[in-house]
Amino acid sequence: MGIIAGNVHRVMEAIASAAARSGRNSESVQLVAVSKKIEVDRILQALAAGVRYLGENRVKEAQEKKPYLSEFNFEYHLIGLLQKNKINRAVGIFDWVQTVDSLDLATRINRSAERKQKVVQVLVQVNIGREPQKAGIMEEGLEELARQLVDLEHISVEGLMAIPPYLEDAEAVRPYFRRMRELSERLASLQLAALRMNTLSLGMSHDFPVAIEEGSTMVRVGTAIFGKRPAI
């Protein structure tokens, strides 16, 4: 077994263990392998090892890589900031956009998806740590935005996503994950048509087991699979 295949196996085992601790099975948690700055050959190794979801931060990088990955069936997730001038390209490349944080952005994605005759799965990004340098809607505006999104027919609101503050001690991040689960449950209780709320995208390489214990159904793991990214 190669290094990347071994890493994928270990991450999947850790996912299964964390899911079991929270009374769930491993199939309830999806692994998104974050392939930002990772060369195609290593991404192919991860796909061959069973990865079925890839996450990229930049539209241009994903566009360049995608043709070389066509032998595998996978879902492509945009997990980085989506600039308005790249929406049309993003809608053509990605199956999911995890970083919707405004009605304007959602409307533009919806309009582009309508022209392409497709439905884009989206997550609403919440700035759960209230960090000025990070994107995401503040939690007090979340319900209003959710009510506005249900009228957009070419996006499917699958749930929420967040990037909590980075803290070396994963346990210190637990309250942020817990709060995101509470927000997800609150929105689900509204029973708004077309608001699925089946996905909670939380947790990265250093803290994903804690995120799963607190209800995450999708983890975004890069370093634990591919190793340290190149500086450029």
Q: Which amino acid is at 99?
A: T
Model confidence pTM above 0.75: yes
Helix (H, G, I), strand (E, B) or coil at 227: coil
Fold classification of 3-226 (topology level): TIM Barrel (3.20.20)
Domain ranges in the chain? Answer: 3-226
Mean pLDDT of the 21-34 span: 96
CB 150 within 8 A of CB 194: yes
Terminal Cα distance for the chain, rounded: 28
CB 19 within 8 A of CB 26: yes
Q: How many helices (H) and strands (E) does the chain have?
A: 9, 8
Q: For 207-230, write each residue's pLDDT tens digit.
A: 999 999 999 999 999 999 999 877
**Residue 201, CA distances (Å) to 108, 151, 219 in order:** 22, 23, 6
Identify the burial level of 173 via C-beta atoms within 10 angstroms of its C-beta, where 0-12 means exposed, 13-18 middle and 19 or more buried: buried
Quote the CA–CA distance of 34 and 220 in Å, as a whole number. 6
Q: For 147-187, write each residue's pLDDT tens digit.
A: 999 999 999 999 999 999 999 999 999 999 999 999 999 99
For residue 216, the tally of other CB atoms under 10 A from its CB is 31
pLDDT surpasses 80 at 232:
no
6: confidence class by pLDDT, cuts 50, 70, 90: very high
For residue 190, the tally of other CB atoms under 10 A from its CB is 12
